């Protein structure tokens, strides 16, 4: 996984994310080392994220929120652009419906580009509707294929990815369904 200081930043504005990570980590009684271990990222990366000295990648944010059992919007407070190593996404809406949170994104993936995502917490599913281009997405060991007007979905509690096949960019809607973890 790339270091949070490498590549493009995940957010146009990352102010406040570090403070939210610190508060959520502390509320769960986790040390910096333990959260870094659970997220599969370096302790220095997490420390820099919490201190606000590093711009996190989308992959790093997903790793942290997954380790905390939370949706991405627990860290990203407002709708807006989010970038991964290849995908450009815009958070359009968050639906918090009691025991489930839904995040709706507009996704753009340049032709030939590939984006991977770490596993989310148990029970998370992803649903993609393709509007343009051809998308291969889903679990890395068994990707699904969808063209314009088609829909695919998969359990997202395993590493998964997105690949724009062929000569055209992919334009799609991504809906991520996060069940709330049971209270301790």
Residue 7 lies in a domain: no
**Domain contains 67:** yes
Among 85, 65, 86, smallest CA distance to 76 is for 65
Structure confidence at residue 134 as a pLDDT band (50, 70, 90): very high
Is residue 70 domain-shared with residue 98, that is, in the same domain? no
**Number of domains into which the chain is organized:** 2
Confidence of residue 182 (pLDDT cuts 50, 70, 90): low
Identify whether the C-beta of residue 120 lies closer than 8 Å to the C-beta of residue 62.
Answer: yes
Cα–Cα distance, 99 to 12 (Å, whole number): 30
pLDDT the model gives residue 168: 96
Q: Which has more pLDDT, 12 or 162?
A: 162
Please report which confidence band the pLDDT of residue 38 belongs to, taking 50, 70 and 90 as the band edges.
very high
Examine the pLDDT at 53 and tell me if it is beyond 90: no
Domain span at 146? 86-179
DSSP state of 31: -
Confidence of residue 37 (pLDDT cuts 50, 70, 90): very high
63 vs 119: CA distance, rounded Å: 8
Q: What is the CATH number of the domain that holds 29?
A: 1.10.260.40
Rounded Cα distance, 91 and 100, in Å = 17
What is the distance between the alpha carbons of residues 145 and 61, in angstroms, rounded to a whole number? 26
Residue 5 in any domain: the answer is no
Is the pLDDT confidence value at 13 over 80?
Answer: no
175: Cβ–Cβ under 8 A, 6 or more apart, which residues?
A: 102, 103, 104, 105, 126, 127, 128
Last residue of a domain, one of 48, 74, 100: 74
Judge if 70 and 94 occupy the same domain: no
Pairwise CA distance, residues 65 & 101, whole Å: 13
Same domain, 97 and 161: yes
Phi, then psi, of 54 in degrees rounded to 5: -130, 140
């Amino acid at each position: 996984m790339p270091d949070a200081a490498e590549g493009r930043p995940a957010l146009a504005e990352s102010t406040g994310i570090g403070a939210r990570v610190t508060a959520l980590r502390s509320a769960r009684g986790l040390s910096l080392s333990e959260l870094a271990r659970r997220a599969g990222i370096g302790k220095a990366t997490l420390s820099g994220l919490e201190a606000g000295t590093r711009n996190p990648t989308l992959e790093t944010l997903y790793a942290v929120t997954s380790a905390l059992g939370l949706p991405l919007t627990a860290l990203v407070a407002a709708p807006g652009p989010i970038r991964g190593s290849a995908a450009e996404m815009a958070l359009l809406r968050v639906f918090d419906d009691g025991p489930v949170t839904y995040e709706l994104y507009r996704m753009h993936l340049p032709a030939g580009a590939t984006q991977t995502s770490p596993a989310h917490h148990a029970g998370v599913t992803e649903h993609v509707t393709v509007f343009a281009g051809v998308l291969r997405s889903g679990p890395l060991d068994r990707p699904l294929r969808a063209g314009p007007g088609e829909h695919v979905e998969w359990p997202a509690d395993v590493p998964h990815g997105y690949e724009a096949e062929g000569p055209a960019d992919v334009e799609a809607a991504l809906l991520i369904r996060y069940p709330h973890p049971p209270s301790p």
